[in-house]
Structure 1
Amino acid sequence: MDDQLRDGVDALVPGWERDGLSASLIAITELSKRVAHLNQALEQPLRAELADMGLTYAEFDVLAALRRVGEPYRLKPSELTRSLFLTSGGTSNVLQRLTKAGYVERADNAADARSRWVQLTPEGLHVTMEALKASGAVHEDVMTGIPAPTIRAAADALRELTAVLDRRRR
């Protein structure tokens, strides 16, 4: 293997081999460690940028989910919970903070009196757009120097894995 392509996880493999882990389990563990490392490399600076904007990562996630659905930028709380892999209690806490900040509001659902909508306010849309710009800048900065075809290949390979995991969850 090219020494330039070695990373910190490669240094762990000989120990796993000595411990008798199978080649397939070593590959799974390598994948897990590398995904965690990549997540940390992206999430840590993004959390710092969001904190400067007065947002938590979970709040940003909710705002971005509402923005992603398009106008009128609204979803039911249960739809938010499913799309963000949060618990209903976690979603409720985040929505309370975002409502207090004036970034989202709850609206009646004319089609179903038992449910309500959560939607971005104009101020919430503005903050969301600024946070999305910051997120894009962080992602580009972290990935600087990695060839676009490498990023595309990694994204495609991970899609294969997450598609299987998603099917199992259903």
Structure 2
Amino acid sequence: MVEPDHVDDIIAAWHIQMPGVAGLPLELAKRSALLTAAFDGATAVELEKLGLTPAEYGVLATLRRIGEPYRLKPTELTHALLLSSGGISNVLKRLVAAGYVIREAAEDDGRSTWVRLTPQGVEIAEEAVRTTTAAHARMVERIPEQTARALSEHLRIALTAIEDGFLIRR
């Protein structure tokens, strides 16, 4: 039997205060939020050591993930990271100042630019990905492997169902 957790306490309190309101949807929402907060917290600790914000990491990791030549247009980054154009602009200014990215004119459109990782940007992106992944691995190693794999598969099923008709847009 699994030990009750903080979410069970929340659900029990709601059952007393407003019977019938709290149930499985609230349990899923609360546990998902707590899981996300735990991973985000571990990520933040590692990024702080590297002097990066989560948004800066998002840009660096996105550019590194797509492969050479490690470049996208600002609008593509805005879409990929769900940031506003003003938000991405501020992040890019900081990354340019740090020497991690450069902005270069698009050959086919004089009004457009590319954002490209510099060699230093590739290095910091790879270091950030390694350290955050290692932090996540330390968290996950506390979960039996079979449970972690089943959880991942069940989360995939749940997200697919939600994406098909509800909130999440890619």
TM-score by length of 1: 0.89
Partner of 1:140: 137
Q: Verify the 8 A CA contact 1:16 1:26 in the aligned structure 2.
A: no
Partner of 1:71: 68
Hey, what's the Cα distance between the residues in 2 that align with 1:21 and 1:94? 45
Task: Give 3-state SS (helix, strand or coil) of 1:9's partner.
Answer: helix
Alignment of structure 1 residues 38-77 onto 2, 5 Å: 38-77=35-74
Q: Verify the 8 A CA contact 1:62 1:84 in the aligned structure 2.
A: yes
The one-letter code of the counterpart of 1:158 is L
Change (3 A) 1:82 1:38: same
Between 45-54 and 69-78, the greater mean CA deviation after superposition: 45-54
Change (3 A) 1:29 1:146: same
The one-letter code of the counterpart of 1:12 is I
Structure 2 unaligned regions, length at least 5 = none
Hey, what's the Cα distance between the residues in 2 that align with 1:107 and 1:149? 47
Superposition deviation, residue 78 in structure 1: 0.8
Q: Verify the 8 A CA contact 1:103 1:121 in the aligned structure 2.
A: yes
Superposition deviation, residue 37 in structure 1: 0.9
Hey, what's the Cα distance between the residues in 2 that align with 1:166 and 1:115? 32
Partner of 1:36: 33
Structure 1 consecutive aligned stretches of length 4 or more whose deviation exceeds 3 Å: 164-170
Hey, what's the Cα distance between the residues in 1 that align with 2:148 and 2:86? 35
Task: Give 3-state SS (helix, strand or coil) of 2:76's partner.
Answer: helix
The one-letter code of the counterpart of 1:42 is F
Hey, what's the Cα distance between the residues in 1 that align with 2:74 and 2:106? 12
Superposition deviation, residue 109 in structure 1: 1.3
Superposition deviation, residue 155 in structure 1: 2.0
Structure 1 unaligned regions, length at least 5 = none
Q: 2:155 aligns with which of 129, 154, 158?
A: 158
Task: Give 3-state SS (helix, strand or coil) of 2:115's partner.
Answer: strand
Residue 20 in 1 paired to residue 6 in 2?
no
Residue 100 in 1 paired to residue 61 in 2?
no
Superposition deviation, residue 150 in structure 1: 1.9
Residue 8 in 1 paired to residue 6 in 2?
yes
TM-score by length of 2: 0.89
Superposition deviation, residue 113 in structure 1: 2.4
